[in-house]
């Protein structure tokens, strides 16, 4: 059967994988922890974190610990009930047109979603629209480079813990300059840093000694990277 890259229906076929730490979405667990590490604890009662591309709700344990109300947005009808079961206020919606009010979020996270979006500027505009002044934007995604296409598709799709074959369309990988420019247009100055799985952690995961691999910083943003920035005060 021919796989259509970036077909959302793949997530329905893989619905039982979300909460398996050694399943096909294993690395998404590692990235959720790394994303949460950039989010400070909530500083006010009722603080809201909006989770773009929440999937099955893998950020939920981290968001609860940090003290936010967790609102998730995703297109997958099979993932959202799982997110709901883990305490996420789950909304079925497109990250390019989110049915939430301006300035409703103290934090917006966009983890491993921007490389699946066909209109990146629209998704960035929505993330920034939802942020209150001083709110925090945290993203992680794949860079639009030849190295990233080789590592994340050619190589990673063949490795344990890597992405399911066909889940990414490398044509949608994110241009870092465009990402930073679009965020700045909407009042968010985004700083980037590269990350990768810990080599020793990966070895321990492969031999069954750990369930989660720590993501570590690297000196290049040319493959997998994080971005963090605050929205300017009005």
For the chain, list residues with pLDDT below 70: 1-2, 234
Residue 109: predicted pLDDT? 98
The answer to whether residue 70 sits within a structural domain is yes
Residue 196: predicted pLDDT? 97
Are 224 and 148 within 8 A, CB to CB?
Answer: yes
The answer to whether residue 4 sits within a structural domain is no
Q: What is the domain range of residue 222?
A: 9-230
The answer to whether residue 147 sits within a structural domain is yes
Residue 189: predicted pLDDT? 97
Are 203 and 12 within 8 A, CB to CB?
Answer: no
Are 32 and 58 within 8 A, CB to CB?
Answer: yes
pTM: 0.96
The residue count for the chain: 234
Residue 217: predicted pLDDT? 97
Residue 161: predicted pLDDT? 77
Residue 184: predicted pLDDT? 98
The answer to whether residue 89 sits within a structural domain is yes
217: CATH: 3.40.50.150
Alpha helices in the chain (DSSP H): 9-13, 26-36, 60-66, 80-85, 120-130, 146-149, 176-185, 199-206
Strand duo 224-230 + 131-142: pairing = antiparallel
Residue 1: predicted pLDDT? 53
């Amino acid at each position: 059967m021919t796989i259509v890259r970036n077909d959302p229906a793949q997530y329905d076929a893989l619905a039982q994988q979300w909460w398996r730490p050694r399943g096909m979405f294993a690395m998404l667990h590692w990235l959720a922890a790394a994303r949460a590490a950039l989010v400070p604890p909530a500083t006010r009662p009722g603080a809201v974190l909006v989770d773009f591309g929440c999937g099955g709700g893998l950020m939920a344990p981290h968001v609860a610990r940090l003290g936010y109300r967790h609102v998730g947005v995703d297109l997958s009808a099979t993932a959202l009930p799982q997110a709901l079961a883990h305490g996420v206020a789950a909304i079925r919606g497109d990250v390019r047109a989110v049915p939430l009010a301006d300035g409703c979020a103290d934090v917006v996270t966009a983890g491993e979603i921007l490389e699946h979006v066909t209109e990146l500027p629209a998704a960035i505009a929505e993330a920034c629209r939802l942020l209150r002044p001083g709110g925090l934007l945290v993203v992680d995604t794949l860079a639009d480079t030849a190295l990233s296409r080789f590592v994340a598709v050619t190589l990673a799709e063949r490795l344990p813990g890597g992405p399911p074959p066909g889940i990414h369309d490398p044509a949608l990988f994110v241009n870092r300059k465009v990402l930073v420019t679009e965020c700045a247009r909407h009042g968010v100055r985004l700083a980037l840093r590269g990350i990768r799985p810990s080599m020793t952690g990966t070895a321990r995961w492969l031999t069954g000694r750990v369930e989660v691999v720590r993501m570590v910083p690297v000196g290049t943003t040319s493959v997998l990277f994080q971005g963090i920035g605050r929205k300017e005060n009005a």
